[in-house]
Amino acid sequence: MILKIMNFLFVLFISGLQLWAKNLPEMKGIDLINNQKVEFSWNGSNLGTVVVFLSTNCPCSNNHISYLNNLKKNWPKFTFVGIHSNLDENLDESINYFKKSGLNFPILQDEKTHLADLFGAHRTPHSFIVSPKGEILYQGGVTSSSDPKKADIFYLNNALDEISKNRPILVDRSRVLGCEIERE
């Protein structure tokens, strides 16, 4: 009986992985920081691409800017890209915000929340790690707190560490704190 239950749970686990493994299309758009066209190919990075949905008005998103910069610096074998999807945030104000933010990676403007819908992002900051094959390896919060200085779990950092050591990601989904991404 226990063996049957274990087999059933294993099948559910594998099925869940297959449902979650999306082959995502390449991303392209205008970088809000330098106003240049950028294209991201998943196989262009060594270990994967970190995608983080950000907002200009969300305190939780704003609190993570410096922490995300440090992650980018500490994990050079990963490509980082931010996505701005909120339709209720003025584009000119968003451009000014991201130019002044000091972020050390591009921020793509998400027209009509297409990328947020594709990834299933609902809050900011919502982070994803995409494999070089275009599969989502991790999705969830950057940390366990709205302020990384008060966090006790560093979900995104832990997942990057496990991938870099070629180990399974122990927590491949986590709760996302922050503000809702405003859609039409």
Report pLDDT for 30.
Answer: 86
Length of the chain, in residues? 184
Task: Please compute the mean of the pLDDT values over residues 154-161 and round it to a whole number.
Answer: 98
Cα separation, 175 vs 104, in Å, equals 25
| Biggest alpha carbon–alpha carbon distance for the chain | 62
Report pLDDT for 40.
Answer: 76
Contacting residues for 117 by C-beta, under 8 A, at least 6 apart:
183
Is domain 23-180 given the CATH code 3.20.20.70 in the classification? no
Report pLDDT for 38.
Answer: 85
Cα separation, 123 vs 59, in Å, equals 12
Contacting residues for 35 by C-beta, under 8 A, at least 6 apart:
95
Report the interhelical angle of 155-164 vs 65-74 (nearest 10°). Answer: 10
pLDDT tier for residue 123 given thresholds of 50, 70 and 90: very high
Report pLDDT for 1.
Answer: 45
For residue 6, how many other CB atoms are within 10 A of its CB? 10
**HEC assignment per residue over 102-163:** CCCCCEEECHHHHHHHHHCCCEECEEEEECCCCCEEEEECCCCCCCHHHCCCCHHHHHHHHH
pLDDT tier for residue 5 given thresholds of 50, 70 and 90: very low
Cα separation, 104 vs 45, in Å, equals 16
The type of residue at 7 is N
pTM: 0.85
Where are the domains positioned within the chain? 23-180
pLDDT tens, position by position, 102-111: 999 999 999 8
pLDDT tier for residue 75 given thresholds of 50, 70 and 90: very high
125, 60 contact by CB (below 8 A)? yes
Give the 3-state secondary structure of residue 14: helix
Report pLDDT for 23.
Answer: 66
